[in-house]
Amino acid sequence: MIFYLTALFAGLLVVSNILAVKVFTVLGFDLPAAVLVYMATFLITDVIGEVYGKKMAARAIRAGFLAQVIVLFFIYIAVEVPPAPFFEMQTEYEMILGGSFQVIIASLVSYLVSQNLDVFIFHKLKDRHGKQKLWLRNNFSALITQLADTSIFIVIAFFGTVPLKVLISMIFMQYIAKIVIVMLDTPIVYLLVGLARKQLGQERALLKEVTEQL
């Protein structure tokens, strides 16, 4: 199952960068359309770390970063190649996929800092409490890392383009929305951890059976 989780993690990261172009409003909160997708990536690294260990979670983060860089490179190439004479949507294409250099850097920096911080805090709590209180590790690590993620991204992406008061408002609104999402996804974390542990147990039992037959 680790392969499926890592593939899903990388895929969601790539998709989140594309979806982030759109902003929607719900209950007075202005949020990027990528918020639900991106938040799911923290859920996945928590599951990977809980079942397969800290090193595997760190590897998933590195794989996700590499996937983002490679995809961004190919998107850049696709945007820059001359369009065919009959292709009349180059401007829209660039607007949706191009993004700005400042936003791209903000996304990559906030990703590296927040994902690694999440793994660090999650496993510090696991070392203290053992396998108990998964809900505490999942939620407490998110309280810290989502503040870091949101603050770093918004400051780097929009610094110098909007007033300081607006920056603070954007950070606050997105942070609150992300924490609500984290609280709601806790049952999904328990479900995925249960499925992953069951799959891991089956794989170990099969390996033991094969080893004994040799």
**38, 75, 130, 214 from 125: Cα distances, Å:** 23, 39, 8, 40
Average pLDDT over residues 5-26: 86
Could you read off the pLDDT of 33-77 as tens digits, one per residue? 888 888 899 999 999 999 999 999 999 999 999 999 998 899 889
> Do 152 and 109 form a contact (C-beta atoms < 8 A)?
yes
Tokens of residue 201, six digits: 């147990």
Structural element, H or E, at residue 116: helix 101-129
Residues 6+ apart with CB under 8 A from 70: none
Neighbours of 25 (CB within 10 A): 8
Percent residues over pLDDT 90 in the chain: 44
> In whole numbers, what is the pLDDT of the chain averaged over residues?
88
Tokens of residue 51, six digits: 């079942």
- Domain 2-213 CATH (choose: 1.20.1070, 1.10.3470, 1.10.1760, 1.10.150): 1.10.1760
What's the pLDDT at 21? 76
Average pLDDT over residues 174-201: 90
In the three-class reduction of DSSP (H, G, I as helix; E, B as strand; rest coil), residue 23 is classed as strand
Could you read off the pLDDT of 102-158 as tens digits, one per residue? 788 888 999 999 999 999 999 999 888 777 789 899 999 999 999 999 999 989 888
**44, 116, 135, 146, 182 from 27: Cα distances, Å:** 27, 31, 27, 20, 17
Q: Round to whole Å and give the CA distance between 137 and 114.
A: 15
